[in-house]
């Protein structure tokens, strides 16, 4: 999965979840501190906007997202390349939890753990 200036936030969310069905990505107006979550009041709700429309950074570049990418690296890359604040969430028995404590895990690990937990719980 590749992120670039012409992608809408909604397109990114949909494609991200197609690769990682037990994870989701949300966009925020303000940066969160490492180890802390982002408050809902700072969430960006107009998902029809493109990266180009809302990016705060003047750099150009793409983010290649795969199973081996750490959550912290993904979040940092969005901020460094686009000035956008993102938070990855993991499904835990139907409740979406911010991955603040496990940001050092890869996206593949996050997705696998969520899937495993749901199957163990019989959901």
Beta bridge partners, 88, equal 25
Q: Detail the DSSP E strand segments found in the chain.
A: 2-3, 23-28, 63-64, 85-92, 95-98
* Global pTM value: 0.84
Check pLDDT > 90 for residue 1. no
Mean pLDDT of 92-101: 90
**Terminal alpha carbon distance of the chain:** 28
Interatomic CA distance for residues 1 and 57, integer angstroms = 21
Average pLDDT of the residues of the chain: 87
Mean pLDDT of 39-47: 72
């Amino acid at each position: 999965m590749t992120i670039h200036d012409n992608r809408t936030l909604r397109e990114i969310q949909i494609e991200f979840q197609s690769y990682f069905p037990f994870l989701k990505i949300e966009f925020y107006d303000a940066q969160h501190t490492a180890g802390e979550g982002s408050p809902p009041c700072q969430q960006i709700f107009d998902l029809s906007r493109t990266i180009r429309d809302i990016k705060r950074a003047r750099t150009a570049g793409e983010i290649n997202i795969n199973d081996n990418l750490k959550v912290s690296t993904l979040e940092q890359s969005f901020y460094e390349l686009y000035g956008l604040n993102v938070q990855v969430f993991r499904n835990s028995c139907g409740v979406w939890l911010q991955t603040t404590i496990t940001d050092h895990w890869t996206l593949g690990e996050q997705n696998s753990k969520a899937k495993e937990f749901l199957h163990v719980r019989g959901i």
